[in-house]
Amino acid sequence: MNLGGSDPLCEDYLAQLDSLIRRFEPAWISDHLCWVAVEARYAHDLLPLPYTDETILHVSDRIRHVQERLGRRILIEDVSSYLTYRYSAMPEWEFLAAVANESDCGILSPSP
């Protein structure tokens, strides 16, 4: 879904996803909390986000839009952070919790 991206969310993709959800009625819908494209050019990688208040608001707004469009809560999946941003202002776990709290989504976590 490119939840962390700056491109507009792809409404065609969300419509197709909504159709798929209605057909199969999965228990959960999840997506990685990352960015994957700029100006519709896809990196084919799950690129990590800077951990800032601005990013929390940005992705939370996009997650709320997706949830409203799909008519259900989604789960977010954290990605492996293989780089850090100079502007990150908090640890990864705090960022993830803040996004989930702000957007009212769930967090998909690995089984122990």
The label of the residue with tokens 């909504």 reads 18
| 3 state SS of 86 | coil
37-94 pLDDT, tens digit per residue, is: 888 888 888 999 999 999 999 999 999 999 999 999 999 998 887 788 999 999 999 9
Closest CA to 98 of 66, 51, 62: 51
pTM of the model: 0.93
pLDDT above 70: residue 112: no
H or E element at residue 64 = helix 53-70
Instruction: Please answer whether residues 45 and 12 qualify as being in contact, where contact means their C-beta atoms are separated by less than 8 angstroms.
Output: no
Closest CA to 106 of 62, 71, 67, 70: 67
Q: Which two tokens stand for residue 97?
A: 């919790």
Q: Which two tokens stand for residue 77?
A: 């999946």
- Our CA angle for 81, 73, 91, nearest 5°, is 25
Domains of the chain: 11-108 (3.20.20.150)
